[in-house]
Structure 1
């Protein structure tokens, strides 16, 4: 069907006209269901419609908690004249990037190549085959310096499509070819011998990270500043292994953890972390709260506690931060069905108007109303609430920006419940109830390990509940497929990506280590083996299985693998970690080799861009230090629990822990599965529990007391560094 053109500016005459997002389960897509724009969900039908009409696709990508997505929606997508023009000359398509990160990833790469910037909302113009030819991010309703208006962009793209089609399509094909070449450079061969890891690469990464550190506020780089969770995991692991750079790694990790914990990035009332700070000193957050950030940070803070902290940021302060973060996750994101929701919005809607961070902002007057004059003045001084708001006229976020004195800490603990109760009476940000498999997998690992380290069995129980949801709702055992997204305890039908399989497997293995319930090991094994089949072809690893022809076209018709960490670790690095842990439990040489081959991505990244290779670095550190395999054998007893807990609280980066099932007990999750690491293990002659330690495929004499075990783990860490 030809383009209806100016004679039909509303575009109301063709079949199927209208906004098609009303029945979509995605909260982000439903936010746009009442726009006058004739949005369609991403899929073959939308692109076929564009081909039929011979018009480009306008692809808009965002997510439910995104502040600037709300702004552009209000300014442009709710404007009838802009909508009429968009409907007449394009097929508008909406994508929730959290549902379809494969779509987001390829068009983000195109956007950065075309415009030199990236972010959300993302605005991309595509041929009906899915090839990108023009892109940007936020476009205002009227021109700003260096940024054209959205209407100007639409008119320019339409003119180019009508008058210079050959050039447009040639440029689009050229961009796809460039992206294909990039993919070839990042390819991972899984069927050859892995390269030997060089500890010098990790030490050099620490030195490079030190050059970009902000030693005053903590963290890396300038504003906007994001929580460097994967990098911190590497630094903590590196600091536990004797080397010339161990102390530097410890200090950088401690400064970052302290800076974030004492800042506005961390909600000082209920403990959740915001997505990032718009200032370098963490004082003005971007207020959306994401499951993936908080799950990663919970795990990192728990690992800092396990490490023992340092003088700048003690284990006790780290434990308090971790505990509050875990409580926030469960209080704010846990759904009735058992999964964890994706996020809380950056904005709060007050009287129909979006206000960024309105729930979290305080003025002197608001403090006075909640606390009375005496406490209000003291809290304002401690928590940086001044006469002028740092975010907006609605006020400033509470944050000390430093460690509190003993008296200040006592005051804060006394008034905090009253302030939280007062804040709970305000309008609250919306929650995106979408359950994402991979992010819930990260949360399972974090809750399980934090529960062990913090002596909080309720967190371990919560981890088991989330894991059960993943196995029951997201894992199709018959098809051997993991589904990425669910809503209302129903799978969405979007196939999981490599990162989903990797994060879920890693979480289930971590849960097995803490509980000893072998059903979690069996579920992780199923997921890992399915991923090895699903995401490898001709000896190459890919992030997705090519479910979308348009995405496949846009990336030059080659499998895509992004080795760089983003808000979460890359799928490749997470899969390497899961493979190496599984190989330590199972003894599988093939999976150990596969994990080692993925680590072959590391050397150029570690020496050029370590800030986006944090999880590869962390996994490599664990691989160099291990695997250290600990099998706890013998019947249930207080001593066995003590030995098991000592292992779980060990900071040894290459350690995996297996707990022999009690023959007189039963796993609450079902039958007992044989874990190869436990085969032929037995307690002592008097029935006393023993720990079998193996390192470098060599097993030592079993030990039965905690000091001896900890001493051997420390010796293994030292020997692994010197031997490597």
Structure 2
């Protein structure tokens, strides 16, 4: 059998290269082969650090009899959801028609034309807890395919139609929320607080609990802190509760994916880049510099790859005493861990998630006056721009070992990377990163619609299968939210009012559902909060970035605090960022310019003259 997965740019696919299953990677060739054989396609979606994906692989995909059934009656495609998020989103939406218990591994049965007609998640090797055995599922699907094709076609058509309707156009006449509406949304999120254990959740002690960093970031927005200190305190308490719990790794730092209990105990032990990048920002805004340094240490020491980019995650499983152990490594103390081989890191450098890390580390480096963190952010940015972008600023979704994936980048990749580069530009004083960010934002907006250059996944597009509009944020900023964030950041730097208009248009288009379900739209609402009040922008012109005036300025909760030397200020202005125009040192001394409510105070040279 041809080993098609050995050279994949996904560690998850490579994990399956030795299965007896005749796997195909995602692409048109697999569907064409299914059409030639007149058999359905079985799409198995997961990711490299997913515990139950590992379990199903061991139980079913490594079993010769199961593999024989698959190869005889199906074309089997293995998909890394982190490499192909649009495919995952489309099929996850289709799976909702068949099961309320969504997650990974995701198992979807599809016609050769690409239309989903049945789906589920994990299937055991034998019937268990109300679930049929995987081989029983395969047999039932084959029987239906052979004997009741009309029913399958009808189901598939209905699902594809439903997916198309879910992607309908948004209300172009909507307006962005006002601060009073956002205050109510923040209060609604705060009302979900678990008053006993922190975070969000109900009284069930066995209910899973996630950090929901996007919602925490919304509650910490400057505008929300000013109108509702109590709502912001909910975020600070959640961070404190998580930091003191088993969700935080006490040895190597960072936070695990989620807890399986209300009190933050019994974690699901994978450690994800996107989660920890956002929680680094949460820790900074909560004033927990100890936690911020802890998370940053994990990013640098564990996830950062030799080429500079950050890997996607660290696995929950590792080998201990010759057996696979879920979480066993993380339950050891430092001395015992040193004797073990650590869980593997998925070295896939995801473009958008690196953008989240670049932004968080840049802010942390500036706020904590730590050049090591700034250098790590810069190193990641250079790696991503070198490998995951071409000369025309077209991005790919990911790379592995500095080899780019063929998977196209998503809108979230463009927005998250652009926002991260803008933060890095501010933290380092180097406008080149902001120029690249501006190009990425411009590439995704033609003034009337949003989209990535070259379009989305070509296989889904050819099949007419639409991924639903992913405006809700969940565990990371959506494409819409991230692009709005980047556009607003560019506006704050003086790139022009068109960028504020773009951010407002994106926020307005999703405002109704965001205000109705604020816990699910935290990143979008954070941008809305920034736009709802007059900005505060501070520029310090100083020859030394560690000058006391610069240090004092960085301690002020402004929307922008940029510290540049005179040459950098001129470079920013030349590159089209008007915030830096006409700003220079007065009398040879470091000088701060504090602009509030769309007006600038007289420049000051004494740190005591800066208003907190």
In 2, the alpha carbon distance for the partners of 1:559 and 1:116 equals: 18
Matched, 1:611 2:519: yes
Equivalent of 2:442 in 529, 541, 546: 529
How far does residue 454 in structure 1 lie from its aligned partner after superposition?
2.2
2:457 equivalent in structure 1: 548
Matched, 1:704 2:610: no
Q: Output aligned runs, 1:234-313, within 5 Å.
A: 234-237=218-221, 241-243=225-227, 246-305=228-287
In 2, the alpha carbon distance for the partners of 1:607 and 1:525 equals: 29
Q: Which has the larger displacement, 445-454 or 87-96? A: 445-454
Equivalent of 2:82 in 76, 79, 98: 98
Equivalent of 1:128 in 84, 108, 112: 112
The 8 Å contact of residues 176 and 553 in structure 1, kept in 2 or not, is answered as no
2:394 equivalent in structure 1: 481
Measured against aligned partners, the alpha-carbon deviations of 1:264-309 in whole angstroms (never above 9, x if no partner) come to: 110012212111111111111001111111111111101211xxxx
Q: Output aligned runs, 1:191-210, within 5 Å.
A: 195-210=175-190
How far does residue 559 in structure 1 lie from its aligned partner after superposition?
7.3
In 2, the alpha carbon distance for the partners of 1:47 and 1:498 equals: 26
Equivalent of 1:647 in 544, 553, 560: 553
In 2, the alpha carbon distance for the partners of 1:549 and 1:133 equals: 20
TM-score, length basis structure 2: 0.94
The 8 Å contact of residues 195 and 600 in structure 1, kept in 2 or not, is answered as yes
Q: Which runs of 5+ in 2 are unaligned?
A: none
How far does residue 452 in structure 1 lie from its aligned partner after superposition?
2.0
How far does residue 697 in structure 1 lie from its aligned partner after superposition?
4.0
The 8 Å contact of residues 59 and 95 in structure 1, kept in 2 or not, is answered as yes
Equivalent of 2:71 in 80, 84, 87: 87
1:111 equivalent in structure 2: 95
Number of residues of Structure 1 aligned to a counterpart in Structure 2: 608
In 1, the alpha carbon distance for the partners of 2:453 and 2:523 equals: 19
2:312 equivalent in structure 1: 342
Measured against aligned partners, the alpha-carbon deviations of 1:517-571 in whole angstroms (never above 9, x if no partner) come to: 12212221222222225xx7xx2324785443442367x5557531111221111
Q: Closer, same or farther in 2 for the Cα pair 1:646/1:474, shift >3 Å?
A: farther
2:383 equivalent in structure 1: 469
Q: Secondary structure at the match of 2:595?
A: strand
Q: Output aligned runs, 1:620-635, within 5 Å.
A: 620-633=528-541, 635=542
The 8 Å contact of residues 9 and 400 in structure 2, kept in 1 or not, is answered as yes
Q: Secondary structure at the match of 1:631?
A: strand
Matched, 1:180 2:164: yes
In 2, the alpha carbon distance for the partners of 1:32 and 1:627 equals: 51
1:515 equivalent in structure 2: 428
How far does residue 658 in structure 1 lie from its aligned partner after superposition?
3.7
How far does residue 356 in structure 1 lie from its aligned partner after superposition?
0.4
In 2, the alpha carbon distance for the partners of 1:196 and 1:603 equals: 6
The 8 Å contact of residues 89 and 467 in structure 2, kept in 1 or not, is answered as no
How far does residue 51 in structure 1 lie from its aligned partner after superposition?
0.9
How far does residue 651 in structure 1 lie from its aligned partner after superposition?
2.2
The 8 Å contact of residues 129 and 550 in structure 1, kept in 2 or not, is answered as no
The 8 Å contact of residues 56 and 128 in structure 1, kept in 2 or not, is answered as yes
In 1, the alpha carbon distance for the partners of 2:568 and 2:197 equals: 53
The 8 Å contact of residues 176 and 511 in structure 2, kept in 1 or not, is answered as no
Q: Secondary structure at the match of 1:113?
A: coil
Q: Closer, same or farther in 2 for the Cα pair 1:613/1:515, shift >3 Å?
A: same
In 1, the alpha carbon distance for the partners of 2:453 and 2:215 equals: 25
The 8 Å contact of residues 182 and 529 in structure 2, kept in 1 or not, is answered as yes
In 2, the alpha carbon distance for the partners of 1:541 and 1:95 equals: 26
The 8 Å contact of residues 602 and 617 in structure 1, kept in 2 or not, is answered as no
1:332 equivalent in structure 2: 302
Q: Closer, same or farther in 2 for the Cα pair 1:549/1:512, shift >3 Å?
A: closer
1:41 equivalent in structure 2: 25
Q: Output aligned runs, 1:451-466, within 5 Å.
A: 451-466=365-380
How far does residue 155 in structure 1 lie from its aligned partner after superposition?
1.1
Q: Secondary structure at the match of 1:564?
A: coil
Q: Closer, same or farther in 2 for the Cα pair 1:351/1:241, shift >3 Å?
A: closer
Matched, 1:428 2:342: yes
1:13 equivalent in structure 2: none
Q: Closer, same or farther in 2 for the Cα pair 1:626/1:471, shift >3 Å?
A: farther
In 1, the alpha carbon distance for the partners of 2:306 and 2:64 equals: 39
In 1, the alpha carbon distance for the partners of 2:185 and 2:15 equals: 43
Q: Output aligned runs, 1:52-71, within 5 Å.
A: 52-71=36-55
Q: Closer, same or farther in 2 for the Cα pair 1:706/1:671, shift >3 Å?
A: closer
1:656 equivalent in structure 2: 560
Q: Closer, same or farther in 2 for the Cα pair 1:215/1:545, shift >3 Å?
A: farther
How far does residue 188 in structure 1 lie from its aligned partner after superposition?
6.6
The 8 Å contact of residues 131 and 553 in structure 1, kept in 2 or not, is answered as no
Q: Secondary structure at the match of 2:220?
A: helix
In 1, the alpha carbon distance for the partners of 2:589 and 2:166 equals: 57
The 8 Å contact of residues 186 and 224 in structure 2, kept in 1 or not, is answered as no
Matched, 1:322 2:292: yes
Equivalent of 1:694 in 585, 595, 612: 595
In 1, the alpha carbon distance for the partners of 2:286 and 2:482 equals: 20
In 1, the alpha carbon distance for the partners of 2:314 and 2:324 equals: 14
Q: Secondary structure at the match of 2:539?
A: strand
How far does residue 442 in structure 1 lie from its aligned partner after superposition?
0.7
Q: Which has the larger displacement, 697-706 or 280-289? A: 697-706
Measured against aligned partners, the alpha-carbon deviations of 1:143-178 in whole angstroms (never above 9, x if no partner) come to: 123211111111111111111112211211111111
Q: Secondary structure at the match of 1:582?
A: helix
In 1, the alpha carbon distance for the partners of 2:281 and 2:313 equals: 18
The 8 Å contact of residues 31 and 41 in structure 2, kept in 1 or not, is answered as yes
RMSD between aligned residues: 2.5
Measured against aligned partners, the alpha-carbon deviations of 1:623-668 in whole angstroms (never above 9, x if no partner) come to: 12343333333x5157x8333333333223xx1234444339999x
The 8 Å contact of residues 23 and 78 in structure 2, kept in 1 or not, is answered as yes
TM-score, length basis structure 1: 0.80
Q: Closer, same or farther in 2 for the Cα pair 1:561/1:460, shift >3 Å?
A: same
Q: Secondary structure at the match of 1:52?
A: helix
Q: Secondary structure at the match of 1:692?
A: strand
How far does residue 351 in structure 1 lie from its aligned partner after superposition?
4.7
Q: Closer, same or farther in 2 for the Cα pair 1:101/1:577, shift >3 Å?
A: same
Q: Output aligned runs, 1:345-384, within 5 Å.
A: 345-362=315-332
